[in-house]
Structure 1
Amino acid sequence: MKIGIKVLGCPKNEADCNVLEAILRHRGHEIVKDAKKADVIIIDTCAFIEDAKKEAIDEILTFAQFKSKHNFFLCVKGCLVQRYADELAKEIPEVDAWYGILPPSEVADAVENRVKFLVKDPITVYEESSRCEKGKTFAYIKIADGCDRACTFCSIPAFKGAFKSRTLESIEKEAAELIEQGVKELILVAQDTTAYGVDLYGKPSLPTLLERLNKLEKDFTIRVMYLHPDHLTDEIIEAMLGLEKVLPYLDIPVQHGSDKILKRMGRTKTAEQLLELIEKIRKINPDSAIRTSIIVGFPGETDEDFEQLLNFLQEAKFDRLGCFIYSEEEGTVASQFPEKVPHEVASQRQEEVMLLQSEISEERLKRFLNKKLRILVESSNKNYYIGRSHLDAPEIDGVVLVEKTKRIKPKDFYTVLITSTTEYDLKGVLVE
């Protein structure tokens, strides 16, 4: 069969679909990019926040309409289906099959056998390996999924279930295979990577995993995403900043800077403790990159709380930051909180945060002027090669623009002298 796969949502979904694609190819199926050529279309969905749900529904309806002109089997899978399967099947009869959160091999079986409906208790982790798309420089590896934390705003545990880790051996095997295929950057993802291994080995085992991956041969780097600030230990920090192949990039979603709001969110660290954590990281490595996520408009967020957030951000000076408007999700503790913040107010606060962050980012990037950085060059345009430094996770952070002073082959590492900066990007020249 000719099969098209559309991935929506987080990198964990991309990791799942990379594995699914590898299984389908191994079974003799062809993966196609053009929907007109497909016998089967698979849409993987997200249900984390309202915007993600709307995006998924819009995409499903688009393919359902497209299906009226082209004959293919339309499957929808993943988080949205796990959460709203019966309603979706009733409201969108044009979809041929609905699959919940299943291991990729089970999805492949269901597709091959034209199963119409398969939703059961979520199975979020598996021992199968992915393959990278030819020519791609990075690949996501899902090391765990589900969550046992008690963040009051998050619906993930309701439809993904308890935190579950993959074995060290299966992750190491997948990493080795991806490196052999030419991947230059392995990106480890989970709902909370600081909890990796607790369920399997009785203790947080991210440092052990990083040490094992760091020993793999060939020239590659490791990036870790989603480090819960309340559980980011000294041992994890030391592994991330002390191992040669692990990029000094710490993705720490603090969510807010007001102690009152942090407590209402179910977080245990205070703003002062978060600042101490940031200071500790920068003391070990001043050039490390610290990324965070912020939520504005959380129930009960007053003007005073927002001012505390702005003051916190001015002091923390995060290298990279994403700011999101609070999304009320049914079944969460926060959905029961009174004192809702009007959307217009939250939207204005989001604009203020991002304006402040643009100034902070521009200031932070200047510390790399006249310094040499190791850049993974991935593509090019008329005037520049385009790459990423340790500061830049793909598709969410900035880039490095490298002047075309000589011909080089993209998809590899190069040393670049940084000559100028913008709000979010670096520019430089190749070093001989």
Structure 2
Amino acid sequence: MKTRTIKKDKVSIITLGCSKNLVDSEVMSGQLRANDIDVVHENKKLDHNIVIVNTCGFIDKAKDESIQTILEQVELKKRGRLEKVYVTGCLSERYKANLENEIPEVDAYFGTMELPLILKQFDADYKAELVGERLLSTPRHYAYMKISEGCNRTCSFCAIPLMRGKHVSRSQEELVAEAKRLVKSGVKEIMLIAQELTYYGLDIYRKRALPDLLNALANIEGLHWIRLHYAYPSKFPLEIIDVMKERENICNYLDMPLQHASNKMLQAMKRQITREEMEELIGEIRNRIPEICLRTTLIAGFPGEDLSDIEELKTFLRKMRFDRVGVFTYSHEDDTSAFTLPDLLTQEEKEERAQEIMDVQQDISYEKNLEKIGRTFKVLIDRKEAGRYLGRTEMDSVEVDNEVIISSKKLLPVGEFVNVKITRAFDHDLEGEVV
């Protein structure tokens, strides 16, 4: 008679979508680990028996990727490679009933705020004392930190409030404590993220408190870089720029999604700002910090957009000369106010417009990179790949921005800073040598 061995569960968490989802997965990992459950983020060894898919539901492409990933994991379960498949995140929050009907093989679906219910599947308890503690899935020298959840904005194209709810700020004390733990673990760069950074504090402090938070974080010894992502342009508090200028360890970098530059489109998108006001804001920011790196994202193919709007957007880019630009194609999202508008453009037409915009930005990016040749920058080494080191300046965030390619016979430890003289420029990357 054969004896059945009881193998301890091992969980692999698959994260799709944005950095905010990644933080959620890290928090989940920390809670599971604290309950003595073996957990790995996107386990390459494939020796796990349980999968949790943390989905994205932001745009059609992200939804398709999430559904495909769920189906792949369900297929592994059918073949006996997995025992359980759980699904959480934005797609699950928004379309739970549909998913349960369409993919019933998943063992359970959970929303974005149901971590305690996920833990119950493992007979585990949510440990409130671990708030802010995570099991990092990034290299140990950098981490994302979510300063708030949800969004109170009413942009007509965006479904995030439907999936994440209203804006809720975390306390300054909690965030400072988390940042100190991260630095103690070896983190040198913290990227502040939220659906909307500049709204921070309005709900709990009755004022825009991001400048106060930045000063408190900048006081943490050993925290070399603090980076700001996802700032809303309307009613932007310029005190943020003043703090950035005053504090050496706050990167001269701002990620401010503008979405468009045609006033007709900005009004249809309910962005609460005009092109003229955006130009004035950007001018004032650059007046206060001339060397600041500005990143923005834009949407191509919004309902009602015509070729004159694209031309206006391209003219705006040539005038503003952003350092970094990302372009999305419009996705027609259920229950958003834009869903009532006729979405007449094909995906191919939207992508053609997006490419037109990126062609303009590519030229600007190359020209800006050429200006860096001969200059020396402080570079954080991220990894070694194919015999070369890849790092970033303070003007570059992880994954979305430029990299500095460095050939060096000398060992350059990952996570350390080196001074690099730029010797060559490309459209979106730089090459240099250690000095």
For the superposition of Structure 1 and Structure 2, which TM-score range results when normalised by the shorter chain?
over 0.9
Pick one of 58, 61, 66 that aligns with 2:71: 61
Are the equivalent residues in 1 in contact too, given 2:188–2:222 (CA < 8 A)? no
Are the equivalent residues in 2 in contact too, given 1:225–1:250 (CA < 8 A)? yes
Sequence identity percentage: 37
Give the match's secondary structure for 1:37. coil
| Deviation of the 1:135 alpha carbon | 4.5
Give the match's secondary structure for 1:201. coil
| Deviation of the 1:170 alpha carbon | 1.1
Instruction: Write the letter of the residue equivalent to 1:280.
Output: E
Output the CA distance in 2 between the equivalents of 1:303 and 1:311: 12
Query: Deviations along 1:333-370, whole A, 9 cap, x unmatched?
Result: 11112373333322211111111111010111223222
Output the CA distance in 1 between the equivalents of 2:138 and 2:64: 31
Pick one of 158, 174, 179 that aligns with 2:178: 174
| Deviation of the 1:108 alpha carbon | 4.8
Alignment correspondent of 2:401: 397
1:209 equivalent in alignment to 2:219: no
The correspondence of residues 318-397 of structure 1 with structure 2, limited to 5 A, is: 318-338=322-342, 340-397=344-401
Alignment correspondent of 1:407: 411
1:111 equivalent in alignment to 2:121: yes
1:45 equivalent in alignment to 2:55: yes
1:80 equivalent in alignment to 2:91: yes
Output the CA distance in 1 between the equivalents of 2:244 and 2:266: 26
Give the match's secondary structure for 2:381. strand
Pick one of 19, 25, 30 that aligns with 1:17: 25
Output the CA distance in 1 between the equivalents of 2:271 and 2:76: 45
Output the CA distance in 1 between the equivalents of 2:387 and 2:70: 38
Q: Which moved more, 1:60-69 or 1:412-421?
A: 412-421
| Deviation of the 1:401 alpha carbon | 0.8
Instruction: Write the letter of the residue equivalent to 1:167.
Output: S
Output the CA distance in 2 between the equivalents of 1:111 and 1:231: 44
Output the CA distance in 1 between the equivalents of 2:349 and 2:107: 42
Output the CA distance in 2 between the equivalents of 1:336 and 1:6: 34
Are the equivalent residues in 2 in contact too, given 1:43–1:75 (CA < 8 A)? yes
Pick one of 292, 296, 307 that aligns with 1:292: 296
Q: Which moved more, 1:232-241 or 1:129-138?
A: 129-138
Are the equivalent residues in 1 in contact too, given 2:238–2:285 (CA < 8 A)? no
| Deviation of the 1:382 alpha carbon | 3.9
Give the match's secondary structure for 1:182. coil
Query: Deviations along 1:378-421, whole A, 9 cap, x unmatched?
Result: 11134421101112111111201112142222211111111221
Output the CA distance in 2 between the equivalents of 1:262 and 1:241: 30
Are the equivalent residues in 2 in contact too, given 1:49–1:329 (CA < 8 A)? yes
Alignment correspondent of 1:161: 165
Output the CA distance in 2 between the equivalents of 1:303 and 1:419: 39
Structure 2 unaligned runs (5+)?
1-8
Pick one of 426, 432, 435 that aligns with 1:428: 432
Number of residue pairs matched?
420
| Deviation of the 1:35 alpha carbon | 6.7
TM (normalized to structure 1)?
Answer: 0.93
Are the equivalent residues in 2 in contact too, given 1:319–1:361 (CA < 8 A)? yes
Output the CA distance in 1 between the equivalents of 2:309 and 2:336: 22
| Deviation of the 1:215 alpha carbon | 0.3
Alignment correspondent of 1:186: 190
Query: Deviations along 1:49-84, whole A, 9 cap, x unmatched?
Result: 111111100000000001112132111001111111
Alignment correspondent of 2:39: 31
Q: Which moved more, 1:135-144 or 1:256-265?
A: 135-144
Are the equivalent residues in 2 in contact too, given 1:15–1:140 (CA < 8 A)? yes
Alignment correspondent of 1:226: 230
Instruction: Write the letter of the residue equivalent to 2:102.
Output: E
> Aligned-pair RMSD on alpha carbons?
1.8
Output the CA distance in 2 between the equivalents of 1:249 and 1:20: 30
| Deviation of the 1:149 alpha carbon | 0.6
Structure 1 unaligned runs (5+)?
116-125
Output the CA distance in 1 between the equivalents of 2:186 and 2:326: 30
Are the equivalent residues in 1 in contact too, given 2:332–2:339 (CA < 8 A)? yes
Alignment correspondent of 2:134: 130
Are the equivalent residues in 2 in contact too, given 1:192–1:226 (CA < 8 A)? yes
The correspondence of residues 86-105 of structure 1 with structure 2, limited to 5 A, is: 86-102=97-113, 104=115
TM (normalized to structure 2)?
Answer: 0.92
Are the equivalent residues in 2 in contact too, given 1:250–1:289 (CA < 8 A)? yes
Instruction: Write the letter of the residue equivalent to 1:209.
Output: L
Alignment correspondent of 2:241: 237
Relative to structure 1, the CA distance from residue 49 to residue 339 in structure 2 (aligned partners, 3 Å threshold; closer, same or farther) is closer
Give the match's secondary structure for 2:54. strand
Q: Which moved more, 1:33-42 or 1:296-305?
A: 33-42
Pick one of 245, 254, 262 that aligns with 1:258: 262
Are the equivalent residues in 1 in contact too, given 2:32–2:124 (CA < 8 A)? no
Give the match's secondary structure for 1:377. strand
Give the match's secondary structure for 1:294. strand
Instruction: Write the letter of the residue equivalent to 1:109.
Output: L
Relative to structure 1, the CA distance from residue 18 to residue 204 in structure 2 (aligned partners, 3 Å threshold; closer, same or farther) is same
Are the equivalent residues in 2 in contact too, given 1:144–1:191 (CA < 8 A)? yes
Give the match's secondary structure for 1:229. coil
Are the equivalent residues in 2 in contact too, given 1:385–1:404 (CA < 8 A)? yes
Relative to structure 1, the CA distance from residue 403 to residue 286 in structure 2 (aligned partners, 3 Å threshold; closer, same or farther) is farther
Are the equivalent residues in 2 in contact too, given 1:78–1:99 (CA < 8 A)? yes
Alignment correspondent of 1:200: 204
Give the match's secondary structure for 2:342. coil
Instruction: Write the letter of the residue equivalent to 2:104.
Output: P
Output the CA distance in 1 between the equivalents of 2:174 and 2:122: 26
Relative to structure 1, the CA distance from residue 271 to residue 83 in structure 2 (aligned partners, 3 Å threshold; closer, same or farther) is same
